[in-house]
Amino acid sequence: MIKDQGTDGTHGEVLECDVCILGAGIAGLNALFAASRQRTSSCRIVLVDRQAEPAGMWHGAYDYVRLHQPHPIFTAGNIAWRGQSDRYHLAHRREVVDHLKYCYQVLKERTRLEARFGHEYLEHEDSERGAHPVTIHCRRLTDGASLTIRARHLIKAFGYNVKPMSPLEVTSDAVLSLSPDRSDIFDAQVEQSTGPVYVVGGGKTGMDTAHALIRAMPNKRVRMLIGAGTMFLNRDLSAPRGLRRHFGGATTLDAFVDVAGRFDGRNEVEVMAHFRRTYGVSLHDDCRRFLFGLMSPEENREIRRGLDEVIRDHLEDVVDGPSGPVMVLRRGGRRPIAPGSVLINATGYLAREKAPYEPYLSASANVLSIQPTSTTHFLSSQASYFLSHLFLRGDLASLPLYETDVRELHDASRDVLPAVGIAMTVHNTTLIMGRLPRWAAKENGLDPMLMLPLHRRLRSFVGLMRFVKSRPDHMAKALDTVRERFGIRLGPLAHLRPPSKITRAAS
Ligand SMILES: Cc1cc2nc3c(=O)[nH]c(=O)nc-3n(C[C@H](O)[C@H](O)[C@H](O)COP(=O)(O)OP(=O)(O)OC[C@H]3O[C@@H](n4cnc5c(N)ncnc54)[C@H](O)[C@@H]3O)c2cc1C
């Protein structure tokens, strides 16, 4: 039961519950969805987030961000969007926030939920015994008052825990350095700046920023520094429209199974080049990075046409030379940059900080943790949906999912990261599907295949089953090869307990 012992200044508030969920971004809301379906309506759930409202990173993202996938498949469980007739609409930031807040309201009505927004998680202990083995310590941000939660199950759904980017720090004062998250890039100082705008980074934020600038300021010279270049999954192929829905394009599952089947743990460059040629769009023919972003060929063409220049290198600094400011590039090059130019930091949000390792499932099987040091699926939303269901059923500990630290993998090899991300996701999803109840699989509204008719979904699914049957060890072997090549953690959790010791939840 929930015990509110009041805030007495010494002990603070104490709550007891069956499930405590930390984080109310899309990962936390999918955990809440799973809890609402795995538990009876009398089960007590406590949800904590440091922000004032649900929706996570979408509150703080740059204003012109849009979903890269059709909006229906960005949700909690199978909660449908309201008031949007075009299934392919790419929702704006405000629309995403509204939808996630709506998901929260729906789930609040379905559950016995106590939410504590404006509270920050500090730490937890797991005694492994008793009705409420996990004690979670939080504090209220306004006054530091403590909040203690005693829970049967803890789901730490911080997911990607995206934080706003700061402007790039450069030596020279002759250029203006901005972050899309901290300043309005459409204001007069950018439009009237005497030099071009340099968008630093070629991933989703870079492409979004270049696209928005090209449209808003057609007379401004916009240049991009794209490093090794990023490819995107061709959205017109993965979510074809009209009659093409029935036969055109290639499903995301087909594309991922194709990559997973080709990847042997050593040939990532070749395999991702195949992916780019067959399923991708990119500014250049040799872009190497893939961070699971989607883009249409039309958007890609518009950006390419609108750009004044694409520089295939990384910016290290801007320094003052004898004849004015100079860009210092990673490959050793230096090139002049006009005084009054604008730099926009779009170098990416992922893998910026090295965080202490936390396994996705604790040794006691009482704590589930969805975050990048123990990633099982490239989407935090999807990982949270699947793993929360299995966790609350007591079925997760007996499933040998592969897990890895995204940051460690990124530092080991940026080339191998996408191939591992794809192979691991396909491998884990096949294991999860073998264990998840059919009704829970059906309620997974995040599946990109839902944009396609049933016959195509079935065909792709049969393709996956054939692949797994004919080459059952292929993906695990490829991932094991990567682990040995780079000496990184990539494989099943070391501490998984035998299934007989797992407490099975009555659902
Ligand atoms: C610019 C950008 C665009 C993106 N676009 C897309 C897209 O179009 N489609 C897509 O699928 N993905 C996209 N992503 C990936 C995106 O990060 C996820 O889709 C998703 O919204 C992340 O949700 P999350 O729940 O994992 O993390 P977050 O949204 O970051 O939520 C984490 C929550 O945990 C809370 N929290 C963290 N620490 C604490 C603490 N100690 N105490 C209490 N609360 C805490 C935070 O306040 C936050 O509310 C994008 C990412 C970025 C950066």
- The pLDDT assigned to 330 comes to 97
- Look at residue 351 in the predicted model and tell me its pLDDT: 59
Cα–Cα distance list, 242 to 87, 246, 447, 452, 455 (Å): 11, 8, 19, 10, 15
Pair (382, 333) in one structural domain: no
Select from 345, 372, 391 the last residue of a domain.
345
Could you tell me if 182 and 329 lie in one domain? yes
Confirm whether 331 is domain-assigned.
Answer: yes
* Top mutation candidate among 158, 294, 379 for ligand 1, by most atoms within 8 Å of CB: 158
Question: Is 192 found in the same domain as 340?
Answer: yes
Q: What is the pLDDT of residues 225-255, one digit of tens each?
A: 999 999 999 999 999 999 999 998 899 999 9
Q: Note whether 281 and 381 are same-domain residues.
A: no
Please indicate, yes or no, whether residues 130 and 210 belong to a single structural domain of this protein: no
Question: Quick check: is 487 in a domain?
Answer: no
- Per-residue model confidence (pLDDT) at position 41: 78
pLDDT given at position 354: 82
Burial class (CB in 10 A: 0-12, 13-18, 19+), 415: middle
Show the domain range for 375: 13-162+354-401+492-501
Residue with tokens 């995206």: 162
Claim to verify: residue 112 and residue 56 sit in the same structural domain = yes
Per-residue confidence (pLDDT) for residue 69, from 0 to 100: 96
Nearest protein Cα to ligand 1, atom 36? 23
Token pair in block for residue 295: 């883009």
170-217 pLDDT, tens digit per residue, is 999 999 999 998 888 898 888 899 999 999 999 999 999 999 999 999
**pLDDT on residue 496:** 74
pTM assigned to the model: 0.94
Name the residue of 101, 160, 238 to mutate for ligand 1: max ligand atoms within 8 A of Cβ: 160
Q: Which residues contact 272 (CB under 8 A, 6 or more apart)?
A: 231, 259, 288, 290, 415, 418, 419
- Residue nearest atom 22 of ligand 1, based on CA coordinates: 160
In a domain, 285, yes or no: yes
Report how far residue 78's alpha carbon sits from residue 443's, in angstroms, rounded to the nearest whole number: 5
Average pLDDT along the chain, 507 residues, taken 10 residues at a time:
48 93 98 93 94 96 95 98 94 97 97 97 96 97 97 96 90 96 86 94 96 95 97 96 92 97 98 98 96 97 97 97 96 96 91 85 97 96 98 96 96 97 97 96 96 95 96 97 98 72 33
Residue 377 and residue 317 share a domain? no
- CA-based nearest residue to 122, from 140, 97, 95: 140
| C-alpha 381 to ligand 1 mean position (Å) | 9
User: What is the identity of the amino acid at 246?
Assistant: H
The beta strand positions in 370-425, using DSSP E, are 403-404
For residue 498, what pLDDT is reported?
Answer: 52
